[in-house]
Copies of this chain bind each other. A is one copy, B any other.
Amino acid sequence: MKYLITGISGFVGGHYLEYILSKGSGACVLGIDTERPKFDFLNSSKCKRIKFHKGSLMDKARVKNLIKKARPDFIINLASYSSVARSWRDPAECFVNNTNIFLNLLEAVREAGIKTKILSVGSSEEYGVVDRENIPLTEKSPLNPANPYAVARVAQEEISKVYAAGYGTPLICTRSFNHIGPRQRDIFVVSSFAKQVMEGKLKRRRKIICGNLEIVRDFIDVRDVVRAYDLLLQKGKIGQIYNVCSGQGHKLSEILDMLQKKAGTDIPTEVNRDLMRPVDSPVIIGSYAKLRKDTGFKLKHTIAGSLCDMLEYWKAQIR
């Protein structure tokens, strides 16, 4: 089996690669990214099965050439401008880049005439501002994308449906909920909390800066996410959309309390209004019943375990 992972140098890319290697299936991986990965997979003993290609997926000709040569069995499209805040600052850029990258991949596969299975990774952001009566969100819940990033993700999903129906491209779509786990950047809320708690414990800060602690979100460990993705590529139904989530909601204040308890700290918090979003759903929780039913997926990580791993990660980073 040959995987092409776009955006391999990112948080999810690294964990996906680790997962593939841990399976010991002998699969080959071609990773593409605009930046070299920080993790050291190229020097691992398994390096013969892994190739890295530095380049932009915006370059149509390059993508065509790459896919024509590699003829991957699976493509996991993790390359994305995934920051909502950034998408408000540069909406056109965010939208165009996300959709262009995806279209370049689809067109390259279509023109190569190969039957590559493609995982179109979407986002719970597609659901937008959610009414409590729609919780838990299922794949049939209405979509109300409320920022440019979310609109790009909805467009990607609609494009996927049209390619699946019109050209028979074997696509599977996800709506992936908030990720957590070690190595996540601190622009994401839980990783920022874990880092700040650890900095406080190591006497590097006195206050934890936070936004709205009252919102409830569905956090899923990145290692469960990549397992779900791999199961979807093996057993997911072509042309279908799947929530990838934990099915459990946690208030941000509760997450912060758990982190402080685990770290043995009691650092005071300070709200920074700049971290509040103008429009935000009070509660977002998904249902992964469809994923479980079609692939047999089960969660392996608990929120407590994920938070411990994140604290450990930041401890090592700070020292």
* Residues on A facing B (Cβ under 8 Å): 88, 91-92, 95-96, 99-100, 103-104, 106-107, 145-148, 150-151, 154-155, 158-159, 161-163, 165-166, 278-279
Contact = CB atoms under 8 A, between A and B. Distances in A.
A158 B154 contact: yes
B163 A145 contact: no
Given A88-B166, A145-B158, A162-B147, A96 B96 contact: yes
Contacts of A159: 91, 95, 148, 151
Number of copies: 2
26 contacts: A88-B166, A91-B103, A91-B107, A91-B159, A92-B103, A92-B104, A92-B107, A95-B103, A96-B96, A96-B99, A96-B100, A96-B103, A99-B99, A99-B155, A145-B161, A145-B162, A146-B162, A146-B165, A148-B166, A150-B162, A151-B158, A151-B162, A154-B158, A155-B155, A165-B279, A166-B278
A151 B104 CA distance: 16
A125 to B, nearest CB: 11
A163 B103 contact: no
A147 B163 CA distance: 8
A71 B46 CA distance: 60
Chain B CB count within 10 A is highest, among A100, A146, A162, for A162
